[in-house]
């Protein structure tokens, strides 16, 4: 397939087989956020969209974590850039999320935040985060997307290979999960099984997440696997749900003046913690540490880990709070970017999106926002009347949608002690930018102009260039660092300056 848009070019070198006679067909591998949103967009350009999901979705109306999303028991913030993208894709979604109780946390107004030895002033919010559970977010998006009769789901099924060759992907090879194995080697190298079946498609979109097997599938049909850029700090984190018992923390619907805590790690102080409100009024506490200093999943040791933080605030809160869950750990946090845009034998009819294309250290909270922003990029690339949406062109648009998040996450992780990977080495431009960004970060806790610009870049609502706007640059280059609270500010400032 030389073109992705639903035009006559869609069927050039048609996929063949019985599927072709029933119209244009797209297969999306993976039914999490990135896959669902891609399916939603593609339903406007195909007769049928089939989402192949290895898990089975939770039964019943309420949201619940899925085994295939092990990080779902950990914090999932929705940055403002993701909110704007979701609203563009699914009009009215943000109001639906609010009605479901997802907390909305104003930054820096609602958080007690520490970074680089300084407490942030609790100035009026310039951006808002949604901090509800991943399960709630996914459940609401799934309900909206699957209401479209053009989108269907095959649950409990693995994709084990691609159909086609190095010039064109023509579908996928499926196997029901739990089926017995036979001998031999299939297209994906997973072994031939009697239960395998072919699903022919005009376009295959890999949204299977950070554990994608697409590079192996592509190699099996004679195509080139993408070059992978990696940066891995060895960061791990552990989370537990608590109920605040003394009124220190609350929700936006309560009288409490503080909604959460946030200690941001840096190269000099590599331990981090975040305590965020959930939709049911509880709070999720998450510790992070680098390789060799990982937070424990033992319940007693989990609370003791709080003593490593630069201030006893969180440890004191944990000792008074009521634990409501076991401790859950997660350690797959490397930044990985797969460069399908680089030269190589790339088959038409295959795209990658979401974490299968570019995955970030989760500590930066970018994953859900980038999934939504990538779906907007897919929509715009397919609808652009000026350019034919070739596979390569659409793939480049998807990569561009993740570029700023990658620059932020990878740029910060390069500086962390013990970082490894083929993209760790700093360039000359990185050193110059690093000097400027250090001055930005020094001023962010106390300067409202610099802080507003920095948050807009971090939340993906403005390009990095906003940090070089005249008013920001003057403050960064010439203004002194403004004073900030000496102790944790437990109340909001009445008026910002």
Residue 72 has pLDDT above 80, yes or no: no
pLDDT of residue 12: 36
The rounded percent of the chain whose pLDDT value lies above 90 is: 79
46's torsion region: left (phi>0), alpha (psi -120 to 50) or beta? Answer: beta
Q: Other CB atoms closer than 10 Å to residue 436's CB: what's the count?
A: 14
φ/ψ (deg, to 5) at 277: -75, 145
Q: Other CB atoms closer than 10 Å to residue 189's CB: what's the count?
A: 13
Q: Other CB atoms closer than 10 Å to residue 160's CB: what's the count?
A: 22
Hey, what CATH topology would domain 8-63+143-231+334-410 get?
A: FAD/NAD(P)-binding domain (3.50.50)
Which of 256-260, 292-296, 416-420 comes out lowest in average pLDDT? 256-260
Judge contact between 168 and 218, C-beta under 8 A: no
Estimate to the nearest angstrom the gap between the alpha carbon of 247 and the chain centroid. 31
Which of 49-53, 332-336, 423-427, 481-485 comes out lowest in average pLDDT? 423-427
As a whole number, mean pLDDT of residues 18-43 equals 84
Q: Other CB atoms closer than 10 Å to residue 322's CB: what's the count?
A: 10
pLDDT of residue 257: 87
Spatial distance between the Cα atoms of 492 and 72, rounded to a whole number of angstroms = 31
pLDDT of residue 494: 76
pLDDT of residue 226: 97
φ/ψ (deg, to 5) at 156: 60, 35
Judge contact between 466 and 456, C-beta under 8 A: yes
Estimate to the nearest angstrom the gap between the alpha carbon of 415 and the chain centroid. 21
Q: pTM value?
A: 0.91
pLDDT digits (tens, 9 = 90+) for 264-283: 999 999 999 999 999 999 99
SS3 of the chain = CCCCCCCHHHHCCCCCHHHHCCCCEEEEECCCHHHHHHHHHHCCCCCEEEEECCCCCCCCCCCCCCCCCHHHHCCCCECHHHHHHHHHHCCCHHHHHHHCCCCEEEECCCEEEEECCEECCCCCCCEEEECCCHHHHHHHHHHHHCCCCCEEEECCEEEEEEEECCCEEEEEEEEECCCCCCCCCCCCCCCCCCCCEEEECCEEEECCCCCCCHHHHHHHCCCCCCEEEEEECCCEEEEEEEECCCCCCCCCCCCCCCCEEEEECECCECCEEEEEECCCCCEEEEEEECCCCCCCCCHHHHHHHHHHCCCCHHHHHHHHCEECCCCEEECCCCEEEEECCCCCCCCECEEECHHHCEECCHHHCCHHHHHHHHHHHHHHHHHCCCCCCCHHHHHHHHHHHHHHHHHHHHHHHHCCCCCECCCCCCCHHHHHHHHHHHHHHHHCCCCHHHHHHHHHHHCCCCCHHHHHCHHHHHHHHCCCCCCCCCCCCCCCCCCCC
Burial tier of 130 (Cβ tally within 10 Å: 0-12, 13-18, 19+): buried
Judge contact between 35 and 354, C-beta under 8 A: yes
Q: Other CB atoms closer than 10 Å to residue 3's CB: what's the count?
A: 21
Distance in Å from the first CA to the final CA of the chain = 56
pLDDT of residue 452: 98
Query: What would the two tokens of residue 263 be?
Result: 């200690």
CATH 2.40.30.10 fits 235-330, yes or no: no
- Return residue ranges of the chain for CATH 3.50.50.60: 8-63+143-231+334-410
pLDDT digits (tens, 9 = 90+) for 310-338: 999 999 999 999 999 999 999 889 999 99
Spatial distance between the Cα atoms of 255 and 253, rounded to a whole number of angstroms = 7
Which of 64-73, 170-179, 340-349, 459-468 comes out lowest in average pLDDT? 64-73
Which of 17-26, 172-181, 216-225, 438-447 comes out lowest in average pLDDT? 17-26
Judge contact between 34 and 41, C-beta under 8 A: no
Residue 33 has pLDDT above 60, yes or no: yes
287's torsion region: left (phi>0), alpha (psi -120 to 50) or beta? Answer: beta
pLDDT bin (cut points 50, 70, 90) of residue 471 is very high
pLDDT digits (tens, 9 = 90+) for 120-169: 999 999 999 999 999 999 999 999 999 999 999 999 999 999 999 999 99
Spatial distance between the Cα atoms of 365 and 459, rounded to a whole number of angstroms = 9
pLDDT bin (cut points 50, 70, 90) of residue 253 is low
Burial tier of 98 (Cβ tally within 10 Å: 0-12, 13-18, 19+): middle
- Return residue ranges of the chain for CATH 3.30.70.2450: 235-330
Q: Other CB atoms closer than 10 Å to residue 18's CB: what's the count?
A: 7
- C-alpha dihedral, 316 to 321 to 326 to 331, nearest 10°: -40
Helix 33-42 vs helix 80-89: angle between axes, to the nearest 10 degrees?
30
């Amino acid at each position: 397939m030389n073109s992705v848009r639903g035009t006559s070019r869609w069927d050039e070198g048609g996929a063949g087989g019985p599927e072709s006679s029933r119209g244009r067909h797209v297969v999306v591998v993976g039914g999490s956020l990135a896959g669902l949103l891609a399916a939603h967009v593609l339903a406007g350009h195909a007769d049928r969209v089939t989402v192949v999901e290895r898990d089975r979705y939770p039964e019943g109306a309420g949201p619940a974590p899925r085994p295939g999303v092990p990080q779902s028991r950990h914090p999932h913030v929705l940055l403002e850039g993701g909110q704007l993208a979701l609203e563009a894709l699914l009009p009215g979604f943000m109001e639906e999320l609010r009605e479901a109780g997802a907390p909305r946390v104003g930054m820096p107004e609602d958080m007690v935040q520490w970074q680089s030895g300084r407490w942030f002033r609790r100035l009026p919010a310039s951006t808002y985060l949604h901090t509800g559970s991943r399960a709630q977010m996914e459940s609401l998006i799934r309900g909206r997307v699957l209401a479209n009769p053009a989108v269907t789901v095959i649950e409990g099924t693995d994709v084990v290979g691609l159909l086609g060759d190095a010039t064109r992907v023509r579908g996928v090879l499926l196997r029901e999960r739990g089926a017995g194995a036979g001998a031999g080697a299939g297209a994906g190298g997973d072994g031939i099984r009697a239960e395998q079946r072919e699903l022919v498609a005009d376009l295959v979109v890999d949204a299977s997440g950070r554990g994608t097997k697409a590079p192996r599938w592509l190699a099996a049909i004679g195509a080139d696997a993408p070059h992978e850029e990696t940066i891995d700090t060895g960061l791990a984190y552990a989370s537990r749900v608590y109920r605040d018992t003394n009124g220190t923390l609350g929700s936006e619907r309560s009288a409490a003046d503080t909604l959460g805590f946030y200690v941001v790690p840096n190269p000099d102080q590599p331990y981090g913690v975040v305590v965020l409100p959930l939709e049911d009024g509880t709070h999720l506490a998450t510790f992070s540490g680098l390789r060799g200093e990982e937070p424990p999943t033992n319940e007693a040791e989990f609370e003791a880990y709080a003593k490593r933080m630069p201030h006893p605030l969180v440890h004191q809160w944990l000792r008074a709070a009521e634990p409501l869950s076991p401790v859950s750990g997660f350690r797959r946090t490397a930044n990985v970017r797969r460069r399908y845009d680089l030269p190589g034998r790339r088959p038409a009819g295959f795209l990658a999106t979401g974490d299968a294309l570019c995955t970030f250290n989760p500590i930066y909270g970018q994953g859900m926002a980038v999934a939504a922003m990538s779906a907007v990029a897919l929509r715009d690339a397919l609808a652009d009347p000026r350019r034919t949406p070739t596979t390569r062109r659409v793939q480049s648009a998807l990569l561009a949608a993740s570029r700023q998040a990658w620059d932020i996450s990878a740029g910060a992780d390069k500086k962390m002690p013990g970082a490894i990977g083929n993209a760790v080495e700093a360039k000359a431009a990185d050193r110059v930018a690093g000097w400027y960004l250090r001055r930005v970060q020094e001023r962010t806790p106390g300067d409202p102009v610099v802080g507003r610009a920095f948050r807009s870049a971090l939340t993906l609502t403005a390009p990095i260039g906003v940090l070089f706007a005249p008013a920001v640059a003057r403050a960064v280059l010439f203004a002194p660092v403004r004073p900030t609270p000496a102790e944790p500010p437990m109340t909001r400032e009445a008026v910002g300056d």
